[in-house]
Amino acid sequence: MSLFIASLNSGSNGNCYYVGNGSEAVLIDAGISCRETEKRMAILGLAMEQVKAIFISHEHGDHISGLPVLAKKYRLPVYISAATLRGSGMALPQELVCHFNTAPVNIGGLRVTAFEKLHDAADPYSFIVEGNGIKIGVLTDIGKVCKQTVHYFRQCHAVFLESNYDDQMLEEGGYPRHLKKRIRGGKGHLSNDEALQLFVGHRSRFLSHLLLSHLSQNNNRPELALDLFSPFASELTIAVASRDKESPVYHIQHPAENISSNHNLVPYRTVQYSLFD
């Protein structure tokens, strides 16, 4: 049994992540337009009809800008905390709004668990999506690695992990001092080095895919992140989720299985370092 994952976009210009089991799927965040979401899923051969719900991590525009149109068009339940909805200022049909807490939510054969994270938003969450004995982490917009992040990261078979900025590029770049302080101040974003420490110190023996996510356009470069992680990535597929286009669909299999893949899916435990920008 498998899960299928893809990044439809990842970065300050929009975030949207797909996790499905072949018959049903969820989207984590909806920060690109409905039209772009439809187009990119079609390119990947993913059916919008299989998407059964959208989960929102927090109210920043790069995570919700496409939400109202997408949810209304497809009549999708939107799992969003009450504080996040208030902070967003958006109007959603009441019948589509589902408030959540940290109790797992079952969406068909998928189970989504939210847990709190450190970020400068009203009520921010990370997510674990589980199905067929496989766990996928969506761990972005994290100001600092906390105990909960470590706890759930250790459970992941595949993970979208924030690797937002290079310390030297941020320090030497043109951002004003207050913005630099916000980014690395504990409720902003994870640096490449901080993400690497989490990965090296707490990766599970069955982690097969690492998608480096939410890279800064101005304070990072995909090749920098890949070069940093690759020496520690034996028997692991590692890639950068693009801020401009969709990633491939990745086929995440249970470690006990060894099923050949097709449809341009990445096989389990191949060594591959790739870049989609």
Average pLDDT over residues 173-192: 95
- Per-domain residue ranges of the chain: 2-275
Average pLDDT over residues 13-19: 98
- 122: which DSSP letter? S
Apex CA 220: angle with CA 230 and CA 44, to 5°?
A: 70
Helical pair 222-229 and 192-202, crossing angle rounded to 10 deg: 30
The DSSP-derived string for 176-239 is -HHHHHHHTSSSS--BHHHHHHHHHHH--TT--EEEEE---SSS--HHHHHHHHGGG-TT-EEE
Coil, helix or strand at residue 135: strand
Question: Pairing between strand 78-79 and 97-98?
Answer: parallel
Q: Are 101 and 82 in contact (CB under 8 A)?
A: no
Residues facing residue 211 across a β-bridge: 160, 239
Give me the pLDDT at residue 254, please. Answer: 85
Q: What is the CA radius of gyration of the chain?
A: 17
77: number of Cβ within 10 Å? 17
Tokens 């976009």 sit on residue: 9
CA atoms within 13 A on the CB side of 77: 14
- The one-letter code for the residue type at 219 is N
Q: Is the pLDDT of residue 86 over 80?
A: yes
Which pLDDT band holds residue 257 (cuts at 50, 70, 90)?
low
- Give phi and psi for 177, each to the nearest 5: -60, -40
**For residues 161 and 156, what is the distance between their CA atoms, to the nearest angstrom?**
11
* CATH fold for domain 2-275: Metallo-beta-lactamase; Chain A (3.60.15)
Q: What is the mean pLDDT of the chain?
A: 91
Q: Is the pLDDT of residue 268 over 70?
A: no
**For residues 237 and 242, what is the distance between their CA atoms, to the nearest angstrom?**
16
pTM of the model: 0.92
- The one-letter code for the residue type at 197 is Q
Q: Is the pLDDT of residue 261 over 90?
A: no
For 195-253, what is each residue's pLDDT tens digit? 999 999 999 999 999 999 999 999 999 999 999 999 988 889 999 999 999 999 999 99
What are the helix (H) ranges across the chain? 34-44, 61-64, 67-74, 82-88, 147-153, 167-172, 177-183, 192-202, 222-229
Give me the pLDDT at residue 255, please. Answer: 81
